[in-house]
Structure 1
Amino acid sequence: MYLDVIVHRFPSRILLECCSSNGVSPYCASKMCDVRTIPNALETIAISTSCRTEWSKVSPCLADGRNHTDCCIKKGVQHDCLKICGGVAEPLTMHSLLCLNLDIAAIYQCLRQGYDTRPSPPQNVTVTTVTESSAEVEWTEPAVNAHLVVSYSLFLRKDDRSPNVIEVHNVTSPHTEYGLIPDTEYTVYLQSHGTTGDSLMSTAQIFFTHPLVPSFCPHGEPLYDPNGHRYYCGAGIRDCPPNYDCVVAGTSETDTFCCSKPLKINLAKDCCQQRGVPANCLSMCSNSTPLSLECSEYGDIWVQCTSEGHDHTRCCAESGIPDECISACRHPFTLERGCIEYTPLLSKCYSWLATNLPSAVANLEVTSRNSSSVIFSWDIPLQRPSDVYQVTLEKSTSVFRQINVTTNSARIDDLQPSTNYTAFVTGFNKFGSSPPSFKISFETLPDNEQNDRPVPPFGLHIVWNHGRRINITWNWSSVRYNGQRITDPVTYTVNYVSTGNASVWNSVKTQNMWYVMENLTMNSLYEVYVYVSDGNLQSRSSSVVTVLAAPDEYSLPEPQITITPANANRTYRVNEQIAVKCTVHSDRVLNLDLLIGKTLIHSEPSKMTVETFLNVAENNNLITCTVMDTDGRQNRAQMHIFVQFGPIVNMVTEQIYAYDDLSAEIQCIVQGYPEPMLEWHYRKSPNTIRTERLNDPVLVKTTALNQYVHTLLIKNVTGRNGIYSCKAIGADGTEITKSAELNIAKAALPLTPRFILQCCVEAKISEKCLRVCSVNPEIDGDCSAFSEDLLRCANDGRDHRTCCMRTRIPSDCLSMCSGNKVSNNALCSIFASRAVACMIRGHERAPSPPTLLRYENVSPDSVK
């Protein structure tokens, strides 16, 4: 088969501009910087001799940010010329003359193909935030073929002399890398990965981690100027900003710094009080007050309440606390009796971390899950929130995946169906990390589950926690997996167990979407999950939530959010009007704030209800209701609504050309929520009415939230030129179709070697040269007298020039390898036997014709 292989989207103008800006001479640029035209023999000689030294300037331009080395290796390009494929800015040596003459056509073919199938490097790589031990890196998507990116990799190297490179795969922007060495130079760069190849490395950025300077502040860190120097202060000379005190750090009164003031809320004291510490010892329950000998019997409680569960090992070691007392600095957070004398040092370590490290997140919950993905959400702490949150997903007993986000929700894809996972969240700021949240367990749904079973409850979380009594609630959509609504009453089954006695489960049935667990053991961990049953079939489990039976810090009731109409899965159309109501039930007057998108609504005095109407839009899909008292304490509830839109359909390109291995890929970008169904259809020409639904394999990749790339994989394009349509079907039945055309020249059936031999016999080719036409062709003899007949018999309409180049046929004669005439028959006729051998061997890779054709009559006017 002869393929009209045309590469589109050539960056020709960009390549020529790049060569010009790199100082390539106009003469060499005209020969080397336009890959649309394969150089002829004379041009190849000029490139190999006069322009050989220009390759160090030309190679980076031709690569165009893509790495084409793997393609060149597959096509047999010799090692000396692989620098061109990889865009390496190095000159070629005299040893490269041979590969330039033989392989330049294959190199340019790989470049042309790579321009369509490989992404360019990430852009705008920026180091945004640097601390003593971490750095945040941001970037934007590639300028070319961003839709082909599957993942990004980040590379970090310590100074220019270090051979060791840290590789971090599957990163997303922004990415924070922890565990760096203080006061050290680092170089960072990134690479894009596609399904068919990779980009070159991005522009490198150099940064320095901050030096590790001990803090002289009793609370927090010193204030710094924008240039990185400490903010010096002095009475009547330079005052500190609000919430900072001027503190003398050294022996000199001029060695003064601005240090943050301590927080007024004493959570440690509340913790001690709840744990039964008597009034005469409560004054010592502060992270800046050491423990006295009279209160030593409460040492464990003092450590657990004032340390806030953080790891203080580093500070304790630097402060000289002995190893036998180190249990007060980290788990299990106990104070040995002989360690009372070190409580002043312990309180100093607790105080420093307590005013700098972020607080743990609360109410981690699974808001949505299916067979391959899950969405988490959690509450941001009111005090010391984090700059970034790390979500850790465990499978069995090992870490399965970790992602970093800056919001209080995260989505993780590419999970396995019917598999148990466990997740927890850790917060980070420039000083370190928070304690991890309580873990939450869940099971992904089975793949393609379509049955009568009810969908499971979701959003299981705590309303209030009084220690021995905990109120939990959850959400549920009254539908089955097959989409059928459930109208009859259902029953929920709440199961909970103490992790210290996992053999005794408590199981309670209720028809409410809440339950109060009572008679719990104080300071014990419990695991809770919920089922729903319609009387016949039971759902799968909700996520499993871990709770600690200890009074919460704020003790404010959680507000309730109600949306009318209550659509299934909280999914609404754009511009659909909904009513949002937030209420709180309390014996005392509390204030409510309702935040929808960027619109904030306050409750009227003495009314603990806020209600409003709005038209649904993509930018108001998060609803937050906050309850507050006059002391500044808060509690809040959040609810996400899902905006139905689409489908929106676009073809990546409307003109598709087959690759040289007779395959083709057609890509269609689909946007919509819920995820639209997709069908591929084919018709022979634009004027043909009848279409055929295709069953070729399709690769589906999620490239962004609610955006999917469907790739139709055609392994053999023989006879399949025509119009290919991508039809997306939305949840409401809306159908959108976009089309692309696959272009293939008129096909000629490949000829068998037996047919070639018969043709050669009929052409009266000599017996000696008939061996060229055999199944195992011999090419030793001179058959130039029969060159025209040999080529006519072996011509099968396919392009065999790659093979001919490998057999050392001159470039001026390569056209005879694709069935075309040559300009110098006298020169090229001696190479005809080699060309015929390539044609016969090329047939081995061509597809076989259909065999064993049978038929039967199925009706008077049709056959099968």
Structure 2
Amino acid sequence: REYFQEGTGILPGPTSELHASYVTDSSVTLIWQGPTEGANATDYVVHYKKVDKTSIAENIIKLDNQANTTDTTITLRDLEPHALYKIFVVSRNEHGTSLPSSILLINITKTDLGETGMSAVTSPPHTLAVSERSAQFVTITWQPPEFSHPDEQMVYRIFYKEGNSQSYRAADTSVTSHTLEQLNPNTQYIIYVTAISKKGQSLPSETLIAWTDPAYPAFVEPPSVHPVNLLVEGSSMTILCIAMGIPMPTISLYISGRLVRQDVTRHMVTVIYNVSRDMNHISCYADNGYGTPMEARKRVDIKYKPHLTANGISMAAHGDTITLECLVEANPEPQMLFWRDFAMRIPVIQSPKYSVDMARSKDEEEKWVMRLTIKSVTDAEEGDYFCHAENAYGNETKPVSVRLRNVAPVNNITQCCIEQNVSSSCMDACSFYLDIDSVIDKPECLPDFDKFMKCGSDGSDHRGCCAQSGVERNCLDWCKGDAIDPSTSKSCLAKFTKKIISCFRDGRDRLPGPPQNVRVERVDDHTVMVRWDPPLKNPHTVEMYRVFWRQDKPKGSPMKNDVKTNNFKITGLKPGVPYECVVKAGNTRGTSTLTDPIRFTTDEKYITSAASMEEEHSQFGMAFGMVLTIAFVVAMIAAGVWYVRTRSLLGHKSTGGVAFENPSYLREVNMDNIQPSDANTSSGLHNTSWKQEQLHVPASTEVAPSIYEELKLGQDGAGFKRLKP
């Protein structure tokens, strides 16, 4: 520092604006400006030297030839023609010399240099070196030019290319270091630098050969989580992800599948506050663009108090069996119980009335299902219950309630049994809920079971529930209130009575009864309007009505359509042809039984209900009986044998009205491929049977019947689709 301060204000400043104004084959005229700062110069020393390709890059402070002058211009003579000369100027006084000026390189050949001449430029940068490198970048440093004016502003241009490439890429910077990025791993690069000022570009620096590092795929260690032993919901945790690889990898932290943080580093520390119970899966993911990205996972054990989800209020009817559920999430496993009284903490215990079950969820280890089943609900069981769970970290209680429906009964079982002529000794079964247990051991009541089932079905078709419960096909008619073959009655009674009665109970408040007051209004010779009233039983559960019609004489193929309204227009009918029509109501759980058939034609107002048809059939039967009376004595034995054999083969069927059970109308158990039209018009579906399927359910949520179901229940009958769970 002392040496620098000693010459301040004494030594002359450097010259500037050196340029050649005129050149011949043996001489060159130079012009420059004297120093603007420092002591005045007494004279100037012009250094010049002939150079070649080897010596042109040498920067020495004193050249072979000097010429002195007190003026700011000079002509150098007797130079070698067509030779390349390097020239610079220094100012001088009695105390010493200044720094060199910029360097002028000029070919001694007569040339018109124009008005501005040929300017001197700075010397090239030097001492190139590699300060840092990786697989994808190299950082280069260098020294500034030795010969340049202190006030001269410069930009450095870095030229680089791969060793086997033919062209250079360039990058500019104003400082003496630069990082070349997006390079290829394990590759040789050739690099040099030039300095650019307002007077022009310098000569190139020396050439530097640099190699990038080889690439190594990313490797990541399993995440490290602190605290290690006790992590409680609501506290904080620190996660450390460590990754290796060249180039440096990008580390991503995921918590339960959500990206939390991402950074280009080898060690990433992240603090998570207010930890929740769903933050138990931690993943560190590393990728550097080479090889396969790597992921390391860890599951942490987060302790938390119980969290309950209750099913709220459950509605039931008198005599129902109802199940109350609560979903429990906790860690560690909690103590769980049901309370009947929250204030008194009275627990519900296992008994014939109550069934208490605590089961771990099949899908997740930290979830449990609390179930309280109440059998034969009465007024005493109505009210609030409480799910309670507790562990070492807290407790929670949620209410669940039972409410009874105040719905007047639509079907009077006792009255139905009287109308069906049930024997007096078997009337004990005709309670409000059809108490089959009271007569199941009475052999004399076996003939009345068809009547019990008709009253118990209450106008609904329960075959869907029965089929799912495993009731065999030859017993399914009981599920819709129809008689079955007497030869199978005992088997059905012994095996499936309780299942059928259970389905009656389950569907009592869920399945609709048959539509009421079906009537037909003539529109024209080819069209009628069918109207009906909602069912008396569960009208609020109706989601769709299905209308059937067919030609009566001769019997034609049945047609059907589904509507949401209480009317339907049938088109395309033939004048003078008798038709029959029936309607049923349904929802996603099942359907009602069919209404009584109604008979009509379109060419006149001839519409007959099932009751009228019974009268016609009765009159026809009387006339036919009179004719048969004459031959009755002769054919009595043969007729008796024929009657017995026919009855044993076909079984007993209830009569009355038009036989819609054969071949098609009553085969189905539930709604089938519901596609209601916008207008109440015929869809023209020539289906001769129903499969049991759910009403108005998209195909993507249905499951085809299993082979077992088709073999057991029949493809046309109870082989039905089921909703996915």
- TM-score under structure 1 length normalisation: 0.25
Larger helix fraction of residues: 1
Determine which structure has more spread, i.e. the larger CA radius of gyration: 2
- TM-score under structure 2 length normalisation: 0.29
